[in-house]
Chains A and B, each alone.
Chain A
Amino acid sequence: MQAYYPLFTAIPLAATFLTLLLAKITRRAADVMAFLVTALLAVMAVRMLFEAPFMYTVGNWKPPFGILLVSDGLSSLMLVVINVIGFLAVIFSLKYMTTYTAKEKYFALFMLMIAGMNGVVITGDMFNMYVFLEIASIASYALVGFGTGRRELEASFKYLILGGVASTAILFGIAILYSLTGTLNMPDLAQQLELIGMTRAVSFVMALFIMGFGLKASAVPFHAWLPDAHPSAPAPISAMLSGVLIKALGMYTIMRIMFDIVGRNALVAGILMFLGALSMTVAGLLAIGQSDFKRMLAYSSISQMGYVLIAIGLALNPNAELTVAALALIGGLFHLVNHAVFKSLLFLGSGAVEYRTGTRDLGELGGLIRKMPVTGTSVAIGSLSIAGVPPFNGFWSKLIIIIALLKGGYWIYGSLAVLVGFITLFYFIKLQRETLFGKLPEALTGVREAPFAMTLPLVILAALCVVMGLGYVAVEGSLLEAAKSALLDKLAYMNLVIGG
């Protein structure tokens, strides 16, 4: 596996180019190709979990002269999240996307997005990260506008503008870092920054990065694009955007840069915690008033990402005890994975509902659990899980984050997190009451269960919600542990260059 690490991007890229050629001959080619490629990637990603950390030099150029790819606990965890959810979203798309035209271009863009995210996660080079970030972003801009309706286009344009601002900020940050240190290689950069220290130029770069990656992760002052963009996209894309993209392009990059390159820093930690608390509360309150199924889910994404951000911020604080930092980080990573699972479940569920009923307005839905038992049950499990009801997975991750906050002495943030937990519960109960339970409107009496290709991913994700909740110690404890130590042990990351 080590020798073939770059295949995580090379396979989807080559497959995309090939798919569009084959699609000129037969239209089925795109479906088959996308299914096979994402299945292969998911298997490879799961296989990566059993690898010790290593580095790969592209073109056999010794770092820092060539491009370095790095594999450690965190990148393996993210690879699993990206590729498994991507695979399930492709299965869902096989049926769902028949309502749209140009299916082969859809799958091409989908695979490019996966390639971009994989590229961001596996790379150990700043500029390379930017390039793959742009691939994923541009593919997602186009996918948001895929329906070419009025709202879709406007949402896509807004997303493109703010994404452009984010990319600009990130690239400028990289340029200043290059000028300061003369290198782009991340471990090498970490060593150089250790020598330079936290000067004004470095803090300026940090501000640019927080702005750029904050926009990509959609933390609250930078969140304007998400509530438009995520609901406008086709359902599997909403699931990918909310479930994976904001994490791979926003959260992962923030974690990688702040922990492994810059090192733990009290100022950045404070800012991140504040942004996290803000996103958690503001977006949670805004979610209550929504009447659109997907729009409510989009606001709740921002709110839940706030939990992750606050946990990252706590762990980033050098004054926090190491045990507290470790606990917060485990909670944050666990919540990140959980959120990927239940948010993609909920978005796919909303897609299945929309596919059968033709609407996502909460006022026009109701009583669907009798007509669509499988979809309904999965969505119910997902919403209980995100609302933090025991024994589902969302409860445990929120609990860990809150305990870490209280242990670290952040009483205000801790009680805020509890409060937002109740707000989440409230609006998801509202969501359940207005879609799954209650009276069935007369217009929907003829609704049938969604097709198998759409219910299968829902059932798998719902099962994951239960399993990850009950079997925390057995299943993910060690994975999260590996990811956590990859972040907290900056020295090991820097030594990759020397030791590898």
Chain B
Amino acid sequence: MILYFLSLVLLVMGLYCLIAKKNIVKKIVGIVITEYSINLFLILVGYRKDGVAPILLKGMHHGELVQHGVDPLPQALVLTSIVIGLGTLALMVALCLRMYEKYKTFDMSKINKLRG
């Protein structure tokens, strides 16, 4: 339980950084942290006590996998969500560089002022 809750704490910290911080790079940091927290939560949810990786190795008894294998579905979801996060990040960094080139600052409040 406490593990789930801690990953939610991580989520909240990321969201706080995303919303309340003025600096664009800090906002990117925030979105990266929220992604970590979700991935962590999904993997935690799928863990089984004394679990083994959901991969059938040569010479491994199939029953052992069924008995002890951890939930493979969240892992597939996390793989997808990591890649989605990477895509979002690439777009954000591109926007961030472009805005720096236009406004010469990373500070959102200054950008708002410059825009007039």
Contacts and interface: CB of A to CB of B under 8 A. Distances in A.
The answer on A and B forming one complex is yes
Contacts of B18: 161, 164-165
A105 interface: no
A393 B95 CA distance: 40
A202 to B, nearest CB: 16
A127 B77 CA distance: 8
Nearest to B112: A154
A131 B84 contact: yes
Given A157-B24, A164-B18, A165-B18, A148 B98 contact: yes
B105 to A, nearest CB: 12
A153 B15 contact: no
A24 interface: no
Interface string B20-39: 00001001000100110010
Given A145-B95, A148-B98, A160-B95, A171 B38 contact: yes
Nearest to A168: B34
Interface in A130-168: 131, 134, 138, 141-142, 145, 148, 150-151, 153-154, 156-157, 160-161, 164-165, 167-168
A168 B80 contact: no
B45 interface: yes
A141 B77 contact: no
Contacts of B35: 168
Chain A CB within 10 A, most for which of B73, B96, B103, B114: B73
B88 A151 contact: no
Given A138-B88, A164-B88, A175-B42, A156 B95 contact: yes
Interface in B1-56: 11, 14-15, 18-19, 24, 27, 31, 34-35, 38, 41-42, 45
B99 A178 contact: no
A172 interface: yes
A436 to B, nearest CB: 29
Contacts of A138: 87-88, 91
B115 A151 contact: yes
B91 A141 contact: yes
B78 to A, nearest CB: 10
A292 to B, nearest CB: 14
Contacts of A26: none
Contacts of B75: none
A138 B86 CA distance: 12
B111 interface: yes
A9 to B, nearest CB: 16
Given A161-B18, A175-B38, A154 B88 contact: no
B102 interface: yes
A165 B45 contact: no
Given A127-B77, A164-B88, A165-B15, A175 B95 contact: no
A460 B31 CA distance: 42
Nearest to B76: A127
Nearest to A158: B108
B68 to A, nearest CB: 18
A179 interface: yes
Interface of B: 11, 14-15, 18-19, 24, 27, 31, 34-35, 38, 41-42, 45, 73-74, 77, 80-81, 84, 87-88, 91-92, 95-96, 98-99, 102-103, 111-112, 114-115
Interface of A: 127, 131, 134, 138, 141-142, 145, 148, 150-151, 153-154, 156-157, 160-161, 164-165, 167-168, 171-172, 175, 178-179, 184
11 contacts: A127-B80, A131-B84, A141-B91, A150-B115, A161-B31, A165-B18, A168-B14, A171-B81, A175-B77, A178-B42, A178-B45
Pairs A-B, 8 closest by C-beta atoms? A179-B45, A168-B34, A164-B31, A157-B95, A175-B42, A153-B99, A150-B102, A134-B84
